[in-house]
Amino acid sequence: MPLQVRWSDLDPNFHLRHSVYYDWAAMCRMEYLQTHGLTPGMMAKHQFGPIIFREECVFRKEIQYGDTVTINMRLAKGRRDYSRWTIVHEIKKQGDALCATVTIDGAWLNTKERKLFIPTQEVIEVFQQMPVGDGIEWLD
CATH of the domain at 107: 3.10.129.10
**139 occurs within a structural domain:** no
Residue 81, in any domain of the structure? yes
Within-domain flag for 140? no
Report yes or no: 121 and 127 within 8 Å, Cβ to Cβ. no
The SS3 call for residue 44 is helix
Q: Which of the four pLDDT bands, split at 50, 70 and 90, describes residue 12? A: very high
Per-residue pLDDT tens digits for 74-103: 999 999 999 999 999 999 999 899 999 999
Instruction: Domain count for the chain, please give it.
Output: 1
Residue ranges making up the domain that contains 99: 2-134
Q: Is 111 helix (H, G, I), strand (E, B) or coil?
A: coil
Residue 25 resides in a domain:
yes
Strands (E), the chain: 2-3, 48-59, 69-78, 84-93, 97-110, 115-116, 132-138
In a domain, 89, yes or no: yes
Host H or E run for residue 26: helix 18-35
Helix (H) or strand (E) segment spanning residue 123: helix 121-128
pTM above 0.85, yes or no: yes
Q: Per the domain annotation, does 13 fall within a domain?
A: yes
9 in a structural domain: yes
User: Whats the size of the chain, residue-wise?
Assistant: 140
Question: Residue 68: CB partners within 8 Å, gap ≥ 6?
Answer: 2, 93, 94, 95
